[in-house]
Amino acid sequence: MDIQPFTIAIPQADVDDLADRLARTRWPASLPGDGWSRGVPLEFLRELADYWATRYDWRAAEARLNALGQFTTEIDGQRIHFTHVRSERPDALALLITHGYPSSFVEFTALIEHLRRDFHVVAPSVPGFGFSTPVRATGWAMGRTARAWAELMRRLGYDRYGTHGGDIGAGLAGEVASVDGAHVVGVHVVTDPLTAANTATFLPGLADGLDPADPTDRLILDRMDRFRREGSGYLAIQNSRPQTIGYLLNDSPVGQLGWIAEKFEEWTDLPYDRDQLLTNVSLYWFTGSGVTAAGFLYEQTHAMGWTPPAAVPHGFAVFGADPTVRRVINPSADTYWAEYPRGLHFPAMEAPEVLAADLRTFFGKVSAS
């Protein structure tokens, strides 16, 4: 049950090996004028890989992450890594924030700086991601992870806390409240039109009431169809054969780079910090967590159901907002709902100031109620 301070210190031999592998990349052929229609364009990835190899500074990123405060503990036989930043305000609310895929706690570095005045921030790495490795057993899906998060907050001494996340982190924010509702004061999640449509593709019942003759519903159905045809390949592989794709992700840094960078290009509409993206990719590479992160998606696909929603306040921050999101989610009248015109799937990187302000507003309302 001990919580141990943790220092990120990747051996220099591993840093040198990455540079060597990048220099020896065997690049594939590509067809002229293809753009993104067949996947990540060759010119885009070559330029990004060259920047990673020659100008990106891992040691500077490592120092910034260590300055936040890194820790590990063992819960249910699994090593759990987390960032823990205490507010200068002793009475500040604790806030548990969880990343999604293909992301990591690195996504929250800028956001934490905007939150630390008002919240005690805890940002764990999902089992199989980053330093929450190696994964020692099967079964680490949403439910087991949520119970581990509740235990982590208990160990840290937080009797009252909020949860937040997007993507996988959104599901975990709700699951933690379901398993620890006596201590969770509110659940705040981020979403966007693409995520809402993609979620409707997989979660039973969400699309049942959609009317093809309605313009808003037609837009949702078209997005769902496009995701099935063009955007769901990565999920199909990782939900069924994570070990097979894992050989590529573990042996080729350019393979891991392309697998992640594609999603950041597709799922953002505001500029994000390229060095922050490469820190995220480097974390996957140095920890060998491409295969185990994919394995988390596999475990969730094969998990048994969801815990019933908790009766605590829920809030949604919609980025790149349009009417389709509210139509899919259909929140109750007392649900907190905020819409922002720009940003998409990674608002903690695209618009950290906006997201931080929304978190303060939602949890301010929760605390006042």
Dist. CA 27–CA 315, nearest whole Å: 45
Which stretches of 69-138 are DSSP H helices?
A: 109-115
Taking only Cα atoms into account, the Rg of the chain, rounded to an integer number of angstroms, comes to 20
List of the chain residues with pLDDT < 70:
1, 305-306
Q: Is 209 exposed, middle or buried (0-12, 13-18, 19+ CB in 10 A)?
A: exposed
- Polymer length in residues for the chain: 369
Active site residue 161: no
Cα torsion through 321, 327, 329, 331, rounded to 10: 100
Domains of the chain by residue range: 4-192+232-368
Q: Establish whether 158 is a catalytic residue.
A: no
> Looking at residue 209, what is its pLDDT?
86
Distance, CA of 102 to CA of 79 (rounded, Å)? 20
d(C-alpha 98, C-alpha 116), whole Å: 16
User: Is the distance from CB of 153 to CB of 102 less than 8 angstroms?
Assistant: no
Q: Which two tokens stand for residue 82?
A: 């987390």
Q: What is the DSSP letter of 200?
A: H
* The pLDDT value given to residue 222: 97
For 17-59, the pLDDT digits (tens) are: 999 999 999 999 999 887 899 999 999 999 999 999 999 999 9
Asked whether 291 and 24 are in contact (CB, 8 A), the reply is no
The predicted structure's pLDDT at residue 305: 67
Q: What pLDDT does 369 receive?
A: 80
Locate all alpha helices (DSSP H) within 156-241, ordered by sequence: 168-179, 193-202, 215-226, 233-240
Going by their DSSP bridges, the two strands 78-85 and 336-340 should be labelled as unpaired
Residue corresponding to tokens 């997005």: 223
* Range list of β-strands (E), the chain: 4-6, 70-75, 78-85, 93-98, 119-124, 161-166, 184-191, 314-319, 336-340
Q: Answer yes or no: 358 catalytic.
A: no
Residue 142, both tokens: 């949403």
Q: Tell me which of 167, 180, 192, 217 is the catalytic residue.
A: 167
Residue 293 identity: A
Which of 345, 360, 338, 362 is CA-nearest to residue 114? 360
pLDDT recorded at residue 314:
97
CA dihedral over 61, 247, 142, 209, signed as positive or negative: positive
Specify the pTM: 0.97
Catalytic, out of 84, 118, 345, 358: 345
In angstroms, rounded to a whole number, what is the distance separating the alpha carbons of residues 127 and 356? 25
User: Which residues lie closer than 8 Å to 167 by C-beta, 6 or more apart?
Assistant: 99, 100, 101, 103, 195, 345
Q: Which two tokens stand for residue 140?
A: 């680490």
134-158 pLDDT tens trace: 998 999 999 999 999 999 999 999 9
Q: What pLDDT, on a 0 to 100 scale, did the predictor assign at position 67? A: 98
| 73-105 residue pLDDT tens | 999 999 999 999 999 999 999 999 999 999 999
What is the third-level CATH fold of 4-192+232-368? Rossmann fold (3.40.50)
Among 101, 161, 272, 298, the active-site one is 298
pLDDT of residue 261: 98
